[in-house]
Amino acid sequence: MRAFVFPGQGSQKVGMGAELADASTAARETFEEVDDALSQNLSMIMREGPEGELTLTENAQPAIMANAIATLRVLQRDFGVSLVDHGNFVAGHSLGEYTALCAVGSFSLSDTARLLKLRGQAMQAAVPVGEGAMCALLGADLEKAQKLAEAAAEGQVCEVANDNDPTQVVLSGHAGAIERAIGLVKDFGIKRGVPLPVSAPFHCSLMQPAADAMAEALAETPPGGLDLPLYANVTAAPVDDPAEEQRLLVEQVTGRVRWRESVLAMREAGVEHFVELGGKVLGPMIGRIDRDAATSSIITMEDLETLAKELTS
């Protein structure tokens, strides 16, 4: 069995998608469709920068999605490989869940781009710049991370945002609480706490205004039927009901990304091969979660050609 997975924020970089666009009409048309949907030349920012503009949450989220969907469409149109024929499940890390829904026909590409633009804007607006922060805990499991978060909170918000793999957990909350958490890591047997260069404290209760904004947006543009089941971030369980997924997407804004548990659940369901489209972030994470899982991270035309041969041989 196989799962196609889609990366989240942090996987953006200037030049992303340029090789695909130069080599494939399918990729070019994908980027043009996103530009049209947003009334913005996002593809130019992706190709040429500046990096500061690409890193803005409202640009990074639709850009990462566009790059992954372009990769998928090249696989489908140029190499004749259908996601439905060769996959059993999909999943995405944070914003990647929207990409996954687009990949299985639950959202149109234009709607996905608009929803992610709004999501990025709403997340940025939820907390004034400087009031929130995030940090990655290296050498931490979930139990250690939760105990550290409780100790560092001191009446402020300090919560587990991402349970990425057995060696990396991310905390999110008030800047002061995150600073305290970094200072306390050794007391909890954690190797290191690293501040993350983010503009807002994602996936914690401070994001409630953004969750409210997404509830409104998703009421107007609800997900449709899914061609394949999706493993949702906040439940680490498969979903194929659009109404349930709509609710979970709202919950996801403030909820924990249960990536480690999602991968283990997919393995338990029989997934042997994970294909990451449009990034090289989730593949290594999956390898740390389960060394026996086969992973492919697909970015270039050469990667796509190799994958297509593997899937069709």
Name the token pair of 95. Answer: 């914003």
Per-chain mean pLDDT for the chain: 96
Selection from 224, 198, 216 nearest residue 94 by Cα? 198
136 lies in the same domain as 122: no
223 lies in the same domain as 117: yes
What is the pairing mode between strands 132-138 and 192-195? Answer: antiparallel
The answer to whether residue 203 is catalytic is: yes
Of the residues 11, 24, 43, 94, which is catalytic? Answer: 94
Average pLDDT, integer, range 166-177:
97
pLDDT tens figures, 138-161 = 999 999 999 999 999 999 999 999
How far apart (Å, rounded) are the C-alpha atoms in residues 89 and 311?
15
Please state the domain count of the chain.
2
14 lies in the same domain as 99: yes
How far apart (Å, rounded) are the C-alpha atoms in residues 233 and 262?
7
21 lies in the same domain as 104: yes
72 lies in the same domain as 114: yes
Of the residues 93, 199, 203, 262, which is catalytic? Answer: 203
Give the range among 49-53, 68-72, 85-89, 220-224 with minimum mean pLDDT.
Answer: 49-53
Percentage, residues of the chain above pLDDT 70: 100
pLDDT tens figures, 265-293 = 999 999 999 999 999 999 999 999 999 99
Evaluate if residue 171 carries a pLDDT over 90. yes
How far apart (Å, rounded) are the C-alpha atoms in residues 4 and 11?
17
How far apart (Å, rounded) are the C-alpha atoms in residues 213 and 287?
35
Average pLDDT, integer, range 197-206:
92
Is-contact 105 226, C-beta < 8 A? yes
Of the three residues 198, 216, 238, the one that is the final residue of a domain is: 198
Tell me which DSSP letter residue 231 carries.
E
Of the three residues 164, 181, 198, the one that is the final residue of a domain is: 198
The pLDDT of residue 14 is: 94
The CATH number covering residue 151 comes to 3.30.70.250
Host H or E run for residue 132: strand 132-138
Parent domain of 172: 132-198
In the block, residue with structure tokens 């349930």: 244
pLDDT tens figures, 56-72 = 889 999 999 999 999 99
The CATH number covering residue 12 comes to 3.40.366.10
Tell me which DSSP letter residue 104 carries.
T
The answer to whether residue 174 is catalytic is: no
Residues near 302 by beta carbon (within 8 Å), at least 6 away in sequence: none
Q: Respond yes or no on whether the N-terminal peptide bond of residue 50 is cis (omega within 30° of 0).
A: yes
60 lies in the same domain as 18: yes
91 lies in the same domain as 191: no
The pLDDT of residue 198 is: 83
How many H helices and E strands in the chain? Answer: 15, 10
